[in-house]
């Protein structure tokens, strides 16, 4: 690594936790905590207007061009620079001029006691600034995929690695349960994992029961619990989770849309099974090698075979006890309820939802 790269670093990406953690660790390396009161200057980059972006960049340049207190070390952190990926702000002539000046300073090289770190959710890769600095700073990107089936394996891997690093072990299914309850956001995952490990203390093994007892489920995770209960026709559980979601200010309209998506997915997977394109081998889905299936899936906007195997297996296992006719009828009921919600004000949405749940979960004895 060249000298300039050691004195300037750029951390970016949509994984806010790893971007922030990377920037802080870099800062601690070049400027220990006991030196930061005198040596560190933080410039806030979370701005929404051109004038604010100009002020941030002016602040960075002024800080870098000012000698540190008593002629000592000077460390500048442009923190959370959201404007670097803002299309309109990055096209402004004054902003481009200031970024060009900053790039020139970096290419010319900072003095031995000067350091710069930038953290940002992203950067416009078409910009001259990006092209100018990429090679002359320490560059780290922490980008998560947008699709759930792509980001889930990454979340599982990160949690498993963190558990091993802390000297713990996880029982089968415990890591999956943690990710299912918390979601994929790294900061939230690690916060809940830290809480779980603190709870376990000297007992260095984490079970599924531990996760259920300690880990707080996010709103998204509770919705997964809701749709699972509906898919498995557990009316008592579906009503309990529905009322919990209402208490948490969740919208009935959002929940009925979730049920539309659920029954649409279940219907498709049941059809794939009937066509002989998908089957369960134990608890894992197996896709057939079939020319007709290949042609069909290629024309879809989202190929279900690329879905994470855990999610696909769960959908298929939930779909199999139902007929295509029943799943289509449930999908239509959810759609009709949604239409009534947005077109009629006479019946409370909560009553509409409870009626829908009774209809789609009814028909056999329920387990609460």
The encoded tokens of residue 9 equal 């670093």
Nearest to 189 by CA among 161, 225, 167: 161
pLDDT at 332: 96
What residue ranges do the domains of the chain occupy? 3-141, 148-214, 233-361
H/E element holding 1?
Answer: none
Residue 6, pLDDT score: 77
Q: Are 361 and 233 in contact (CB under 8 A)?
A: yes
CA dist., res. 23 & res. 201, Å (int): 30
CA pair distance 296, 138, nearest whole angstrom: 46
pLDDT, position 244 = 83
Classify domain 148-214 by CATH number: 1.10.8.60
Q: How far apart are CA 218 and CA 156, in angstroms?
A: 17
Distance, CA of 77 to CA of 42 (rounded, Å)? 5
The H or E element containing residue 278 is strand 278-281
CATH 1.20.272.10 describes domain 233-361:
yes
Number of H-type helices and E-type strands within the chain: 17, 9
Res 41: pLDDT: 93
CB 89 within 8 A of CB 50: yes
Beta bridge partners of 285: 280
Q: State residue 216's pLDDT score.
A: 67
- Note the pLDDT of residue 352: 94
CA 46-48-54 angle, 5° bins: 80
Q: Per-residue pLDDT tens, the chain, 368 aa: give them.
A: 455 557 999 999 999 889 999 999 999 999 998 988 889 999 999 998 999 999 999 999 999 988 756 567 899 999 999 999 998 999 999 999 999 999 999 988 888 789 999 999 999 988 999 999 988 899 999 988 878 788 899 999 999 999 999 999 999 999 999 998 888 889 889 988 988 898 888 889 999 999 988 886 666 667 888 898 999 999 998 998 899 888 878 889 989 999 999 999 999 999 999 999 999 988 889 999 888 988 898 888 788 988 878 788 989 999 999 999 999 999 999 999 999 888 866 789 999 999 999 999 986 544 43
pLDDT given at position 157: 94
- The contacts of residue 143 (CB under 8 Å, 6+ apart) are 13, 14, 15
Instruction: Check residue 308 and report its DSSP letter.
Output: -
The top-level CATH class assigned to 3-141 is alpha beta
State both tokens at 4: 């300039």
pLDDT at 1: 46
Quote the pLDDT of residue 223: 82
């Amino acid at each position: 690594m060249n000298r300039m790269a050691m004195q300037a670093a750029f951390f970016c990406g949509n994984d806010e936790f790893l971007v922030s953690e990377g920037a802080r660790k870099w800062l601690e390396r070049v400027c220990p905590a006991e030196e930061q009161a005198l040596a560190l200057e933080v410039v806030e980059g979370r701005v929404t207007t051109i004038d604010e972006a100009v002020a941030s960049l002016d602040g960075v340049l002024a800080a870098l061009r000012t000698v540190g207190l008593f002629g000592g070390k000077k460390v500048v952190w442009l923190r959370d620079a959201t404007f670097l990926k803002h299309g309109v702000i990055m096209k402004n002539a004054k902003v481009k001029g200031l970024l060009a000046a900053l790039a020139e300073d970096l290419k010319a090289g900072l003095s031995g006691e000067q350091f710069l770190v930038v953290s940002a959710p992203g950067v416009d890769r078409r910009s001259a600034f990006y092209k100018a600095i990429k090679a002359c700073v320490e560059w780290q990107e922490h980008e998560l995929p947008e699709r759930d089936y792509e980001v889930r394996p990454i979340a599982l891997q990160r949690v498993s690695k963190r558990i091993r690093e802390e000297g713990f072990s996880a029982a089968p299914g415990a890591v999956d349960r943690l990710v299912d309850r918390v979601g994929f956001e790294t900061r939230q995952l690690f916060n809940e994992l830290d809480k779980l490990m603190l709870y376990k203390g000297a007992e260095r093994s984490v079970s599924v029961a531990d996760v259920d007892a300690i880990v707080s489920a996010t709103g998204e995770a509770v919705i997964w619990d809701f749709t699972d209960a509906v898919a498995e026709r557990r009316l008592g559980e579906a009503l309990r989770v529905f009322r919990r979601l209402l208490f948490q200010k969740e919208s009935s309209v959002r929940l009925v849309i979730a049920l539309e998506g659920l029954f649409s997915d279940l219907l498709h997977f049941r059809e794939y099974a009937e066509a002989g394109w998908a089957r369960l081998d134990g608890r894992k889905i197996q896709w057939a090698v079939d020319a007709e299936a290949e042609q069909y899936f290629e024309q879809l906007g989202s190929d279900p075979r690329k879905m994470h195997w855990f999610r696909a297996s769960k959908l298929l296992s939930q779909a199999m006890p139902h007929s295509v006719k029943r799943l289509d009828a449930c999908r239509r009921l959810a759609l009709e309820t949604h239409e009534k919600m947005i077109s009629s004000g006479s019946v409370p949405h909560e009553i509409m939802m409870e009626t829908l749940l009774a209809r789609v979960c009814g028909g056999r004895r329920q387990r609460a």
